[in-house]
Amino acid sequence: MSAQLRISYREACRQAIRDALIADPRCFVMGEDVGKYGGCYAVTKGLLEEFGPARIVDTPLAENAFTGIGIGAALAGLRPIVEIMTCNFSLLALDQIMNNAATLPHMTGGQFAVPLVIRMATGGGRQLAAQHSHSLEGWFAHIPGLKVLTPATVEDARFMLAAALADPNPVLIFEHVVLYNGESELDPAVTAVDIAHAKVRHTGRDLSLITYGNSLPKCLAAAEALARDGIQAEVIDLRVLRPLDLPTIIESVTRTRRVVIVDEGWKSGSISAEIAARLAEDALYELDAPIRRVCSREVPVPYAAHMEEAALPRVDDIVAAARALLPGRG
């Protein structure tokens, strides 16, 4: 049996980037503070010294410009990894991402591929205030032509990047800021993960908790709390927001017949709304109770710690939503 290795989510991301740079001379990293500073969240620390400024490229504060350069480099045959400091700032590059990266392969009838990977930090919980703390991955999941990944585990953080770089189309990877410091065991026997399927992280028969990103550990904690009351919750880690792995979702809900969707995005127009709508369309008669959602409050994420905590989904909120679907239990 292979020995387990304990590493942080941050280190898993760094190792994934380093492996990509070693494996393919066409690969390079570009973004704000990725070089001398080592990355806003220290993910690229040490890579400038190892690979040099031609492959670890510090850029000006101009997301539209350097994302456009990344698209051009991908069209020319390179394999760029573009880092946008926080997903809030990705809106400055939305024109390039949506109107160029996502559409060029289709507008050219497949004559051009855009093998671009864009990494960005997402989410609240670190008191970075409203301009650095939102969860906008659901917005990008609305756009055809993109793949949208949300690694929630060390294993996915370590191996999703390689699969993303192998994809001929643009891939966005959203790394939740709270996860960077988290550590867990990494099985050396695992050398790859797919970027097409959701994953059952905890089995159960009474209800399904469907989630992604930093809401995964919250749902796992909620499942433990519910288990103490005899309620068995299944936890589904979406992992990929576009394309959604609807068969895995429906298979789980068909067995448990109740569902709570947990999404750090705002409830209005969120990925949780999309999943709820698809369940209503394709699995309504499999449900024994209404679909419930636990999302962030519909406010800009506050700076004050107690207000930020209140604005984001909490374990207690998930437990309460689950218990409401099972009256008389717990």
Query: Does the annotation mark 106 as catalytic?
Result: no
What whole-number distance in Å separates Cα of residue 239 and Cα of residue 194?
Answer: 10
Looking at 11, 32, 63, 155, which residue is catalytic? 63
In this prediction, residue 19 carries a pLDDT of 98
How far are the Cα atoms of 31, 173, 194, 258 from residue 245, in angstroms, in the given order? Answer: 31, 17, 12, 18
In this prediction, residue 328 carries a pLDDT of 74
**CATH architecture label of 5-186:** 3-Layer(aba) Sandwich (3.40)
In this prediction, residue 330 carries a pLDDT of 61
Q: What are the helix (H) ranges across the chain?
A: 9-23, 47-51, 63-75, 94-96, 104-107, 137-140, 154-166, 215-227, 246-256, 271-282, 305-311, 315-324
Q: Domain spans of the chain?
A: 5-186, 199-324
Q: Which residues contact 313 (CB under 8 A, 6 or more apart)?
A: 215, 218, 262, 263, 264, 294, 295, 296
What is the mean pLDDT of each successive set of 10 residues along the chain, which is 330 residues long? 81 98 98 94 96 97 97 97 96 97 95 96 93 94 97 98 96 98 92 96 98 98 97 98 98 98 96 98 96 97 95 97 87
In this prediction the pTM is 0.96
In this prediction, residue 327 carries a pLDDT of 85
Whether 5-186 shares its CATH topology with 199-324 is answered yes
Looking at 11, 32, 83, 132, which residue is catalytic? 132
Query: Does the annotation mark 185 as catalytic?
Result: no
Q: Which fold has domain 199-324?
A: Rossmann fold (3.40.50)
What whole-number distance in Å separates Cα of residue 221 and Cα of residue 225?
Answer: 6
The sign of the CA dihedral 69, 75, 80, 86 is: positive
